[in-house]
Structure 1
């Protein structure tokens, strides 16, 4: 973090206008991804869920340490191919068009995660027309119940996957199509789970379901995609998912359930890239209305939508800036609660509500932490046509600017 703070202060010295920048520590990202993937059991593979952050520099940094990329559009397929023409790609997401299915086949996608009966039928026809045999995993929306988490993708009505009640129909159809090779199942039932023991319970459910279907319908189980869903605790960054304990228990579960010959796929996003990102913004105003204090930053949720989307107070630190260029007194607040908001014309443009701060002045920098995933990538960039933030990628000896 010290390197990032130095870069922010240097940027502020160079600029006259209020600061608004994303910064990514690629050295940290490289070390973190290498450590995470190095702890996986031997028959497990890590794919990076590109939806979390698909900036070219991020993809190139994680590429040497992952098995491949998980994508959800033909655009993401092409981003993966720009990194490597041969990197394994797995293609998920609901609502794939015919062009996307055909494009994925022609781009040699390793596995298609089929989300519905209609998609399965369309993929079979398109593959036959292209004279290709494609490997598929059926994404199953299990009935549950599942461990609690921030988001549920299955176990309740959602647009994701094939209802468990249709499992027999989907499996038999996939096995009957000569242009399809059924390789196994894709499960992604919860998201942002913070409890590693509950995640082991979840994966055990996946193992039991997949083994049962494989035996019942007599086809070899090559892959189980257990999804991503491993979370980041924005309320307490020191109490996040216990990866060490999880991988140890996962190894025991694999042996216990005799799953050593099945390739187990993880498709993580935020867990890999969240901690490398910072959103640094300058305080341009401090004001009080109806006995509440507000700090207005240069920027807004059009740059960083995650906090308002998930309705949490995002963690941050304050970087004091001593330079003050106006002839009037500098507004400051201290030892009180304040709400941090952006420049947008909506009361929902909020990053942190009623948070206690020791001191904050107009012109200081607020640096939001853990913004390397689902931050810039999910935001409505051009709302109100404010300028985009500067994007900086920090290496050991240099800073790449985009």
Structure 2
């Protein structure tokens, strides 16, 4: 009887999962497998035909999660190159980001990203969630899925989820939060004028490394790439690169989707995208627009030579929901990232005039 039941469940699963990538132009399919992005081959997830992997040179921090990023676009419909914004992808594009952790070993010390491969080896790994960003006729739509315990499939989680985790042997215990569908706009609505969602990592400055731009061109996924291109961001962890370039790349990917000229946090006057050069707009000796506990009782966003007096460093190291930055996507402080930004601030030259008390 049990064998018959198991067979029925397996047949139902096979009937549900399409044999090729399937774009859904409306609605919210109940399972990740309904999109047909991956085939399960033993303990490997294998991207189906047309699925390619990508990785930004400096990734956004998400509680030390490892991330596998893939995309798929309709055949013969490449994205168009843009110099600063996300590439202009066609309707039918599916961008996926899978978050996962080792079941044993130090998750903090393990590599920051898997190889640029359309296959993910899940041996010894716990899959947590896969977030889809789907380009429909009305624009980009975010759809979150949470993996079941055995990693056989992921289920729609529009209201989000909470997953208690321990990073062993580091021993850090925390609750990993899968954002609900509305919260995705907190990062992906990068233009405050339109509030339309768009990808964060699929920009020239993040992807122009390890031959990824050429790979996307060969795959027919990207067109209009100029022969001469602006310098790309650097790997934040590469100590061979200049300290300032590493810190700016880290702040760009983690902060500039809000803190930029058109971003939701533009009124703060603190813009942290790679193109900003004005020291004042980068926070040097700039008092905060809004006071409160988010300042940590520090006078300026950035005090050259003094990370311990800089609001930027305080908010990156805080885990207080009312003070920490970014506001979403993490429960832990990124120790290595905080240390990098602190070194960057400590290396800055100059001095700030003390604030004059109001009378």
Normalising by structure 2, we get a TM-score of 0.24
Q: Which protein has greater RCO, CA pairs closer than 8 Å, 6+ apart?
A: 1
Larger radius of gyration: 1
In proportion to residue count, which structure has more helix?
1
Normalising by structure 1, we get a TM-score of 0.23
